[in-house]
Amino acid sequence: MKNILYWLLCGTRGGMTRTRILELIKDNPKNANKIAGVLSLDYKTVRHHLDMMLKHRLIINTGNGYGAIYSLSEELQANMHVFDDICSKIKKTDKGTLYKTRETNEMEMR
């Protein structure tokens, strides 16, 4: 689970968004539309990230289709210390990003 979490949250482009979604549903499960509204994200973007996290067993869904409710999986709940560790590292990074983009590196070199 540790490797999957680090890859999905730190090693991929959508890691910050997935982290925000997981933090949002950690204590209060929500459907995709509610997640999109609270986080000011496009519904299709949220669905993409939810599908990725479902595939890797970070979350589960109750119900089907539009009204499905998403919550943390038992496996992720058992590894919340890893998730919390990642979140603490995210908060310490510059501008909340987990990795530096090429543009950021170029700006720092100037």
For 41, residues 6+ apart whose C-beta sits below 8 A from its C-beta are 17, 35
Tens of pLDDT, residue by residue over 10-54, are 988 899 999 999 999 999 999 999 999 999 999 999 999 999 999
Rg of the Cα atoms in the chain: 15
| Token pair for 16 | 């910050």
Inter-residue contact 18 to 52 (CB < 8 Å): yes
Amino acid at 24: L
- Helix (H) or strand (E) holding 69, with range, is strand 69-72
Global pTM value: 0.80
pLDDT at 92: 65
Q: Does domain 2-109 have CATH number 1.10.10.10?
A: yes
**What's 94's DSSP letter?**
G
